[in-house]
Amino acid sequence: MFTTHKVPSSHSRKAMLCLTTASAVLALSSVPALAQDTAAAADSAAPSGMGEIVVTARKRGENLIDVPVSITALSGDALNQRGVTGLNELNDFVPGLRYQNSSANRNDRGFQTISMRGMYPGYSPNRQAVTIFVDGVAVPGGATSGMGDIERVEVVKGPQSAYFGRSTFAGAINFITRAPSLEEFKGSADVSYSSYNSIDAKVSVEGPIVEDKLAVRLAGRYYHTDGQYKNAGYSGRLGERDTQSIDFSFIAKPTETTTVRGYATYWEDSDGPSAQSLLTEADYNCNVGGNGRVPAGSTTGFNYICGNVGNIVPSKMSQNINPGGSTNFGGVTNPAQKPTVSAGFIDHLGLERKAYQLRLMVDQEVGDHTLSAAVSHNRNRWAALTDTYNRAPDGTNYYSTVYLPYDIQNNSAELRLASPDSGKFTYMVGGNYYWESIDFFTRASRGPTPTNLGSPTDYRARTFGVFGSASYELLDGLKLSGEARYQWDRINHIGYSITTGAEATNLAKTFKSFTPRVILNYEITPTVSTYASWSRGTRPGTFNTNYTLFSPAIQAQLTTNAGREIPTAVAEEKLTMYEAGLKGEFFGRRLRVLSAVYYGQWRDRQINQNIAYTVGTTTSTATLTFPDGSTNLWGVELEGAFQATRDLTLEGTFNWAATDIRSVACSECVAINGVINPVGNTMERYPQYSGTAAINYQPRINDDWTGIFRVDYIYTGKQYATAANVAWINSASRVNIRVGASTDKYTIELFGRNIFDDKTPTNVLRNTNPNSNVSQGLNTIVLAAPERATIGVRGAVRF
């Protein structure tokens, strides 16, 4: 009998000891500062050498130290210093955040799952746990064109429904773009070149059209990389990516009391085959009692992989269309039944995307109040073609070309009225409307005739919400705040016949939710505050539309293999969160500490399960959602920065995110170890421990030039493949470095990422072999390939 042990390796213990010690020093060093006398506290209110950060997590400008929520805020300069060009790099510097690109057959920019505080939600573009916003406007599917002209990014943890609305019950990520200059014409060019022929070039120009009244900016980006991995056994490389984008923004001040901002962006992604590896029955090393198939002729009786699955094996990374000619791109990508994107949208393995975003925002001063409005329209069309890695139980080549097209669009509008920030009592009231449409299906070729895997489905959501907040200063420095949103979420799923494409079912329901938050915060000194909060969040309900479209015989198979009844409508998820935090700047504002602890109860979890069914000799899987999962979570989030000298800053983050499964319907656990409800286990695909430590040294070289030297150590802990907690990937340690110099006009630097070439996969999950002809199939494990050691040079000019 195989037994798992949740004891960190020696490497993990040493890394965590370093991170924990550094975090404790940062936290404990703040204690003596709390005893400063009144004169010292007043002196500490002088401008900070690290700079003040203003955030808008509660729809009004607040100092990062004062806002009573757990939030990480990074300015555009801070993103550049850390080499952050997308969400994958942002992952490393935000305690509590986990962003993933990998799924059962893919590791590409079409698949995006964001977890917060250990809450792995599964892939659900129509009901995310964490939503991405740009300038406070929701982005469908979470896709963005890049991080050019970003003023800052704010990552807010815990339920944010009161201010941000649907699909933010675990958190929200808000990118705030930089407004064009109303005073002067200026521009910039930023180009980097690195290993694997990787190029990232950005240029922008901006300036006033009417001085102090109207200004515009035009920007563009070109990005390319050849990919870091060879396509084993075939030509080309894995992980090739291309992006081209153009952005336009403006700011207008027609009157002293009116500000209008607009933004438009269009971009195209064109990526080659994605980089992932597959472990199959040839890698089995144990049998833990599940009903997953043991390979025919096996002399060991093994059915799974137990313990650390190891690093990426180059020989197990391959993507190829069926070389025998029985599959053609046209047959897979151009179905007769209800195409989601146009014919010829994609003609190669990999991904194609065409997307745009439009938004308009107005702030109008009405007396001493501010009336704000925002409207937007977004569309994101993408399609992916992937090969499922020659998965044959007998070792022969077995090809399964899978096609996934998506058409995602949304419209939104919001209006809110805010009182002035001064005074003992402040408030805000508002309302919003949101409409979303997601059309998709899955099609594959597992032989001469391409077929649809499941039925084409259109998701529709029409949401109305009213929200408000009020804060009252009970005593000097002691403030009580209440926030709430009431929301009507009309969900509509339209399913189409898998054979004729005609509408076959139309499911609709209105889910109503009330999401409050109560906060008590206290300003200990002008630069130190503490808070405690209680909040509720919900995740939209859904339907098992595809189940209703199967024949009664297949429905019976699915019910048997799931081991339970399958619901048509799935209720909303609910999260109750308790949080407390201490924030402050100490020692003449040279030390900044942001800390939070939390405890959460996640109930009515919507659990996606891939349930197998067989038609003739072909085994397929249907993704179904079950509503009765229950998980408790708790943890610590810590960020610190210490300005040791004028030129030297030490920085660090630490995250401990513990999860405890109380109940779950885990069909894939049944295939592994026969346990459908692994009570007491940890949630999958999220590290319990993670953190960073950094040295940022910027010495003055002369009157014009400043040196650049930065080292980041990034630790990511062990992650389980499934809730069974049987297979996992080990902890990873990566080191990034940047060396260079800059002036007000020029920047030149050398950089290295993952310079010691840590090969630990970035993600792990279980899948099944569809060629196994049994109910649960052969267990397989998919590994997402990490970024290899990369060296490059970057130059920038501002004019």
Q: What is the pLDDT of residues 101-145, one digit of tens each?
A: 877 667 888 878 889 999 988 767 777 888 899 998 888 777 887
Contact 575, 567 (CB under 8 A): no
Segments of the chain scoring below 70 in pLDDT: 1-50, 104-105, 123, 147, 321-330, 335-337, 388-400, 446-449, 454, 618, 769-777
**Number of Cα atoms under 13 Å in the Cβ half of residue 311:** 10
Going from the C-alpha of 298 to that of each of 281, 287, 619, 770, the distances in angstroms are 10, 12, 21, 19
CB-based contacts of 17: which residues, under 8 Å, 6+ apart? none
Rounded to the nearest integer, the mean pLDDT of the chain is: 86
| Chain CA centroid to CA 700, Å | 37
CA distance 283 to 292: 14
Contact 127, 542 (CB under 8 A): yes
Cα torsion through 45, 47, 51, 53, rounded to 10: 50
Q: What is the pLDDT of residues 476-510, one digit of tens each?
A: 999 999 999 999 999 999 988 777 778 888 999 99
pLDDT at residue 49 in the model: 54
Length, in residues, of the chain: 799
Question: 9 in helix, strand or coil?
Answer: coil
Q: Retrieve residue 136's tokens.
A: 């406070």
pLDDT at residue 4 in the model: 40
107: which DSSP letter?
A: B
CA distance 497 to 414: 37
pLDDT at residue 322 in the model: 53
pTM: 0.89
Q: For residue 777, which of 786, 767, 787 has the smallest C-alpha distance?
A: 767
Report the top-level CATH class of 10-52+279-798. Answer: mainly beta
Q: Retrieve residue 551's tokens.
A: 């024949």
Site of tokens 């659990």: 607
Element (H, E) at 673: helix 667-673
DSSP string, 109-163: TT--EEEETTB---S-TTS-SEEEEETTEE-GGG--S--TTEEEEEEEES--HHH
pLDDT at residue 107 in the model: 80
